[in-house]
Homo-oligomer: A and B are copies of this chain.
């Protein structure tokens, strides 16, 4: 009995249309086999780059329809979604450039050296694609972290076919994007099955267990991600599982920073925590602000700015229920104040807000532990610290994070005082350390790292930026392979002009 997959409008709770049906185990098997059969066609890097660029073109062409569907399914709004489509096509083209350049192949050549003891053979190493990659779409980025998103782009760039498990919050968008990607494959002469999309929770579990799936990328909750991570690790042949699961994204505001610009920081924090109705994985979820007059001013500014923020629609009704229950649980703890109480904002809406608590309540395990857990949606926890010891005690209790942010004064930024120590203290907690800014907004750039200690990610990898391609590759070395049989990438004359390291020396 086919289980229907509906597109739902979160602004009304109404079903829009039936988009697909959930894939059965047999269907997953067929899709994965087709993807695996398409893998050899992706060996040609020139075609891969063309696929990525054509996919970007086709997504832009289909842009109006995609944006309309995405807005109707996610309520994220046309402005945000237009930006996200731009991010998505930019990513695809950036990975095409990365494919062209070929540095990711990590070519290392050591010529034979018979003078060594023992004599060294000729060794030529580069990286090859792992095979079929399973991608689990995010709820909160229907484009940039979903069907045509960074995981898909980086896996295709690496030469891996992709089977995407669509997120149930945006199945229609997923189908439209899949159509663009698959048409792009055909247009550049690749098998259509280099990308496929499936729907259904059970389908996702089947997918990660399939013997022909070689790696997985995931963006979502700790609960769902950990279950899939466990399934990946428990396979007869375990596979790499690159999951981004959850992050509190702590922000530390020094006394001097609060004294210098309390109002500006309060307003900036309000903007960051309410952006996209608080539905970013890098939303600041815990803010360590000083007790005292400057901290009070900061909270006053935050209160004003958050009070001005409109109610918004979360991605689905379950998230709304969880948000309302989550903020209530936090606000009801003794000693917790809610200057702007977050919660139910009327039918299908939620109200942004924040709670405040003395940091002293968070320094030991106990009833207040919920305040150190991510709450998805437009809320943050402000913990007021009275001493450096309290600040340190709270930091010492934090799990891994995608980001950690420091707000410091001008003098501290120039090297006076605890600025450097604070950065050093935040570094073990996160994959990105932000100074005097906000963690929301993740630039797509070569240096970007979007990942961090568990549960931020389940591996040491990034899902944003050029190095995301490294997740889908493994090295192989050829020993004494005759020149006539070598892959072109490993030939002495370097006809592809690849950056490489030869006999210990880098060649640009």
- Tell yes or no: A492 within 8 A of B by CB: no
Best-buried of A414, A415, A482 by chain B (most CB within 10 Å)? A482
Cα A435 to Cα B490 with chains together (Å) = 15
Q: Does A238 contact B (CB under 8 A)?
A: yes
- Whether the Cβ atoms of B482 and A419 lie closer than 8 Å is yes
Which single member of B229, B437, B462 contacts A238 (CB below 8 Å)? B229
Task: Report A249 CB to chain B, min CB distance, Å.
Answer: 13
Closest to A437 in B: B480
Q: Judge if A434 is at the interface, Cβ distance under 8 Å.
A: yes
| Chain B residue contacts of A477, Cβ below 8 A | 431-433, 447-449
The chain B residue with its CB closest to the CB of A101 is B504
A159 → chain B closest CB, angstroms? 12
Q: Which residues of B contact A423 (CB under 8 A)?
A: 478, 481, 485
Chain B, residue nearest A118 (CB): B441
Whether the pair B431, A474 counts as a contact (CB closer than 8 A) is yes
Report the stretch among A49-57, A121-129, A169-177, A290-298 that lies at the interface: A121-129
List, in ascending order, chain B residues with CB within 8 A of A475's CB.
431, 449, 451, 460, 462, 467
CA distance A141 to B153 in the complex (A): 42
Complex Cα distance, B458 from A117, in Å, reads: 31
Partner of A419, one of B123, B434, B478, B485: B485
- Give the residues in chain B near A453, CB-CB below 8 Å: 237, 474
**Which residues in B have their C-beta under 8 angstroms from that of A460?**
130, 240, 473-475
* Interface residue ranges of A85-103 to B (CB < 8 Å): 86, 103
Minimum C-beta distance from A237 to chain B (A) = 5
Inter-chain contact A445/B110, CB cutoff 8 Å? yes
With both chains docked as a complex, state the minimum distance between the C-beta of A63 and any C-beta of chain B, in angstroms: 16
Chain A window 118-150, contacts with chain B (Cβ cutoff 8 Å), 1 for yes, 0 for no:
101101110010100000000000000000000
Closest to A127 in B: B460
Using an 8 Å CB-CB cutoff, how does the interface string of A466-488 with B read, 1 for contact, 0 for none? Answer: 01000001111111111011000
Other contacts beyond A110-B443, A433-B476, A437-B479: 11, CB < 8 A: A108-B467, A123-B448, A230-B234, A238-B458, A415-B485, A432-B479, A433-B479, A436-B480, A437-B480, A460-B475, A499-B506
